[in-house]
Structure 1
Amino acid sequence: MTEILVRLKNYGTLVVDSLEAMRNEYGDDYDYLYGIVTTARDWHFLLYTPRRISQGSKLPLSIEFSENALDKKSAEYQTLCNGVRKVLSVVVGIIKDRACAEEEPDRKRARVVGYRSKK
């Protein structure tokens, strides 16, 4: 998490109003946002609430790519497919969660509280 924060600091910050505008779009009932920080190889998933930023896991999900991965019969190709599948499953889960937030507000809040209690 420290490395992510250092990288974000080095890259600069968002315009102050842009994050506030995004947060206000969801309102007080859905006061959390997801974030994705990536180098294209390593993928970090974050959960932002007004009091805290939490990391999805200590280790990033990785997509290993090499020239050998272009051969569909190689082990590297299978490794590439598995990495992409894992990353996309998290991204799709995030999109589904935000899309259904209005339909299941209590369940979403419980999920965030549960996620926080594991850390």
Structure 2
Amino acid sequence: MCIAEGKPRNVEIGYLQNIMQLESAYHTNKKKRTADQAFRSDDHYYLYGIFSTATEWNFIILSTDDLYCTSKSEYQINLSKTALKEDLESIRKGVKKVIGVIVGLLKDRVTACDEPESKRRL
């Protein structure tokens, strides 16, 4: 799992930074495998990325098949001064939604360790 912090004015750079972290993690893990593991025909992987500007949260999956990401408006937390004074319930809901996704990703990684060696993800 790779996490990147971005600046609100440079969201695209944050995405690219996170994608590069995922690519690097994949190649590093690939180098650490034994020859037997590296040449398996059922070699499938996926890695998770989290990119955030604190108010916008984006989740990325890099897999054998493709690169997937959430929409830019799906996970937002309004942290404006007005919201902090008047709309705490909206902030709680946004935080709960984001934390729910992160917990789900962590649970998936824990269960990956319980799978047989031939089915494990990186």
Normalising TM by the smaller chain, what interval? Answer: 0.5 to 0.7
Checking the alignment, whether the CA contact within 8 Å between 1:30 and 1:101 is kept in structure 2 is: no
Look up the match of 1:59.
73
* 1:32-111 alignment, distance < 5 Å: 32-57=46-71, 59-71=73-85, 74=86, 76-104=87-115
User: What's the C-alpha RMSD, in Å, of the aligned pairs?
Assistant: 3.8
- Aligned partner letter, 1:33: L
Whole-angstrom distance in 2 between the partners of 1:22 and 1:58 = 29
Q: Which has the higher contact order (CA 8 A, sep 6+)?
A: 2
Look up the match of 1:20.
27
Checking the alignment, whether the CA contact within 8 Å between 1:47 and 1:56 is kept in structure 2 is: no
Q: Deviations over 1:10-42 (max 9, x none)?
A: 89954x754422456797766110111111111
- Aligned partner letter, 2:99: L
Checking the alignment, whether the CA contact within 8 Å between 1:23 and 1:31 is kept in structure 2 is: no
Question: Are residues 12 and 44 of structure 1, via their aligned partners in 2, closer, same or farther at CA, if it must alter by over 3 Å?
Answer: closer
Structure 1 runs not aligned, ≥5 long: 110-119
Look up the match of 2:5.
none
Normalising by structure 2, report the TM-score: 0.60
Normalising by structure 1, report the TM-score: 0.62
Whole-angstrom distance in 2 between the partners of 1:53 and 1:29 = 17
> Identical aligned pairs, as a percentage?
32
Structure showing the higher helix proportion among its residues: 1
